[in-house]
Amino acid sequence: MAHPHFPKAMDVEITALKLLRTWYVESLPQQEGIDYIETFSPVAKLASVKLVLGLAAKHSWRLTQMDVTNAFLHGTLDEEIYMSLPQGYTPANGAPLPPNAVCRLHNSLYGLKQASRQWYHCFSTVLLNEGFEQAHGDNTLFVKQTGDSFIALLDLQAALHRAFKIKDLGAPKYFLGLEIARNASGILLCQRKYALDILAATSMLACKPENVPMDPTVNLSRESETFLEDATSYRELVGRLLYLTITRPDITFAVNNLSQFLSCPTDVHYAAALRVLWYLKNNPGQGIFFSVDTELCLNAFSDANYGTCPDSRRSVTGFCIYLGSSLINWKSKK
């Protein structure tokens, strides 16, 4: 699915005026609350993205990244939603506006709670009308098969061009913080720039690197030493590390352990989080590789310890799933 970019403010304002109809009312109807029902929209699963990259490496598929111009503005609203008049708006005939004039939205705008849901509905409708089928395990994955082969990518581009204004960005190299590099051997997926940004933001670019992300002799618990007076920096750091686990299975266990103490972090937890940064300094560009020479079969491995959490006495389990020899999904969980 194409990833929408925010348009310029002037473009949004001009487009919004085309989509709005002015409603002149004495006052807005009094309501007990704001309607935020059913604002959820499906988000692509990263496991599906990595699976497609693995298949593309094996079958030598051509990868193309596309962008829909003003994507959210294509969504038609089902609810009755009003907004304040844009600054400087005047009626076309120059008539004065009555008191408390508002605009009723017929299409979604950027920043609206329902915008992503309505865009997904619009986008999925176009694909389903073109004969695509929606995957059961991932609602954002659409496939179309004719005979023994998948539909050509150019046909998909033509279908999207008929429905939206599309930018063809060529072969994907940087997508949602993920760096994609490809050669004759396969596809490399990493987050080198993102990792370096974390090191720079925490002033750790010049730190001494570590060989392991977590000290095996330190057993973290809620009763560890002194609680942090301000836990904001710890929470921000762990949140950024969680996104880095998309391509770094080697830090998944450590980051999962650290994320269990977000409500009450201590200085020991913060020191353990810094150790993960020292480990990243050792190789910030490490990622996962999807090889051309791999079998098309799924291999899954799992393991668990027994009651090692000192706070809850619960076990920790983990799994990893391979497409042949290419790692596509993993998780660590208490």
pLDDT digits (tens, 9 = 90+) for 87-107: 888 887 778 888 888 888 888
Phi first, then psi, for residue 50 (nearest 5°) are -70, -30
Q: What is the mean pLDDT of residues 253-272?
A: 92
Alpha-carbon distance 325 to 175, whole Å? Answer: 24
Q: Which of 249, 187, 243 is nearest to 53 (CA)?
A: 187
Q: What is the mean pLDDT of residues 128-143?
A: 83
Cβ contact 247:288 at 8 Å: yes
Is the pLDDT reported for residue 248 higher than 60?
yes
Cβ contact 77:114 at 8 Å: yes
Per-residue model confidence (pLDDT) at position 35: 55
How far does the chain reach from its first CA to its final CA, in angstroms? 32
Per-residue model confidence (pLDDT) at position 88: 81
Cβ contact 118:141 at 8 Å: no
Distances (CA, A) of 244 to 81, 176, 220, 230, 235: 38, 11, 21, 23, 14
Q: Which of 121, 131, 111 is nearest to 74 (CA)?
A: 121
Tokens of 135: 């995957």
Cβ contact 199:274 at 8 Å: no
Q: What is the mean pLDDT of residues 34-48?
A: 71
If DSSP codes are grouped into helix, strand and coil, which group holds residue 109? coil
Residue extents of the structural domains in the chain: 9-172, 188-333
Cβ contact 277:212 at 8 Å: no
Classify residue 229 by burial, with Cβ atoms within 10 Å: 0-12, 13-18, 19+: exposed
Show the CA angle centred on residue 138, arms to residues 136 and 141, nearest 5°: 100
Q: What is the mean pLDDT of residues 128-140?
A: 83
Q: Which residues share a beta bridge with 232? A: none
Alpha-carbon distance 315 to 308, whole Å? Answer: 6
Average pLDDT of the chain, as a whole number: 82
Neighbours of 247 (CB within 10 A): 23
Per-residue model confidence (pLDDT) at position 37: 59
Longest dimension (CA), the chain: 77
